[in-house]
Amino acid sequence: MTPTDIIIGTRGSELALWQANYVKAALQQHHPQLRCHLRIIQTTGDRSLHTSLAQIGEVGLFTKEIQHQLLKDHIHIAVHSFKDLPTERPENLEIAALCDRRYPADVLVSKNNLTLDQLPPNAVVLTSSLRRQAQLLHRRPDLQIRSIRGNVLTRLRKFDQSDAHAVIIAHAALQRLSLTDRITEILDPADFLPAPGQGTLAVEIRSDNPQLRSIVADIDDPDSRAAATAERAVLAQLQGGCQVPIAAYAYITDDRIHLHALVSDLTGTTLIRAQDSAPIEQHLQLAQKLAQQLRDQGAQTILDQITADQPDL
């Protein structure tokens, strides 16, 4: 391998390959001499398709095998959906770039073109996310939530073949796969909060490679980094993962970052929100402030109870 040859590690789904090819093209646009090659790596989350994410109760379901290959120097770059990365960082790895973010909202894909409020009483909605489940039930306690797993195309196929009325999917995923025609309703991310970091691509490298760090830094987007990092900092402060309903949404206007965050119980009965803004350079302090506001309103009690009820976490 010459210094211009870069192996990019990625999952094998259509969306993951789109993301890896996006990073490949962005790198080669800035550095035409690079020869980038994709290497598909299967993860625990890809293999465990018949169990809900919360029940698996393991961090790094979609990332740890890729990170292992990176640590072993079998790949040079790992491309992840930022929301899939655990908040606790492995030693010797770093996020060298957070790419230009796509709209982080969730969307409703429904049959008969019905919006969330138009779904019939006791309608069945598919999602594997406790965060989405909690917010759906908070808004519509009558809904029946059923778990669904698989990549985006698999989930759409399962939904189409089911008796369910709707499924919730990330807007960015459908946009990247040119499937926005499937969207029935875009759920306002300031109201129906997304996963922290949703819509953002993370490019991870080994910390001992300053030459590659300099190359990858060219595709980093500062505003996307500030917004997604603030959201993830709320998650880290609350020590949450996919087993607890924690959501956050940040956006930037006029050099200020606006941050919304929430914690909910599993049924959406008790849903606690906080929001505030600050200068962009204070995005981490803002995240810490909102996490503390959530705790002051009782979020820690909710999180402790969820953990206590799931002893395998």
Residue at token pair 């603030």: 230
List the 5-10 sheet strands across, edge first. Answer: 35-40, 5-10, 77-81, 201-206, 93-98
Evaluate whether the domain defined by 106-187 bears CATH number 3.40.190.10. yes
Active site positions, annotated: 84
Model confidence over 149-170: pLDDT tens digits? 899 999 999 999 999 999 999 9
Model confidence over 117-133: pLDDT tens digits? 999 999 999 998 999 99
The residues spanned by each domain of the chain are: 5-101+199-220, 106-187, 235-308
H-helix or E-strand containing 35?
strand 35-40
pLDDT attached to residue 90: 87
How sure is the predictor about 3, in pLDDT bands with cuts at 50, 70 and 90?
low
CA–CA dist 300, 298 (Å, integer): 6
Nearest alpha carbon to residue 123 among 284, 112, 207: 112
Which of these CATH numbers, 3.40.190.10, 1.10.490.130, 3.10.300.10, 3.40.50.1970, describes 5-101+199-220?
Answer: 3.40.190.10
DSSP 224: H
How sure is the predictor about 61, in pLDDT bands with cuts at 50, 70 and 90?
confident
Model confidence over 38-60: pLDDT tens digits? 999 988 776 655 555 554 445 56
pLDDT attached to residue 199: 96
Angle at 245 between CA 240 and CA 246, to 5 degrees: 55
CB 175 within 8 A of CB 102: yes
Hey, what are 36's tokens? Answer: 């980038």
Average pLDDT of the residues in 195-216: 96
Asked if pLDDT for residue 223 goes beyond 60, the answer is yes
pLDDT attached to residue 308: 80
Model confidence over 73-89: pLDDT tens digits? 999 999 999 998 988 88
pLDDT attached to residue 1: 41
pLDDT attached to residue 2: 43
Kindly state the percentage of the chain with pLDDT values over 70.
92
pLDDT attached to residue 10: 96
Burial grade of 254 (CB within 10 A; 0-12, 13-18, 19 or more)? exposed
Domains 5-101+199-220 and 235-308 share a fold: no
pLDDT attached to residue 52: 52
Q: Which CATH superfamily is domain 235-308 in?
A: Porphobilinogen deaminase, C-terminal domain (3.30.160.40)
How sure is the predictor about 241, in pLDDT bands with cuts at 50, 70 and 90?
low
CB 247 within 8 A of CB 259: no
Question: What does pLDDT average to over the chain?
Answer: 92
Average pLDDT of the residues in 98-115: 96
